[in-house]
Structure 1
């Protein structure tokens, strides 16, 4: 069973994810239909960032994952040589 602290962290993560999802959805789906001089436009960056930020995050994730796999393989090969 999860402790109280684990539950609070879980609720926080789910809440933050929901806020990010809502913000991103508003940014991509609703904002194109709002006038460009409306005050709501000030709360969102340019739409080009809606594509570049997730792509950059995905590429960074792949680089970190590949580096982790490479380091793990190199360590396992060095262990085989010493045994």
Structure 2
């Protein structure tokens, strides 16, 4: 996982900070997506991560409420 993280960091850093200074006809540009994706992809990943965290928290809260409801119903019986 560390290797993947280092590779992604290196790729993104090169894409954002080095490519603007490289001529567009250079072969290096063929290895990278268009520059507007440098903003769109991280925003999409951030949105998906927030959605996943929100879904997880909501699921935990719903299960906790169901357990408490079940406990209350058993106590009243």
TM tier, smaller: 0.7 to 0.9
Distance 1:66 1:82 in 2: 24
Q: How many residues align?
A: 71
In structure 2, what is the equivalent of residue 78 of structure 1? 66
Runs of 4+ aligned residues of structure 1 deviating over 3 Å after TM superposition are none
- Map 1:51-66 to 2 at 5 A: 51-66=39-54
Distance 1:68 1:16 in 2: 25
- Give ranges in structure 1 of 5+ residues lacking alignment: 1-12
TM-score by length of 2: 0.87
1:34 to 13, 19, 22: 22
If you compute each CA radius of gyration, which structure gives the higher value, 1 or 2? 2
TM-score by length of 1: 0.81
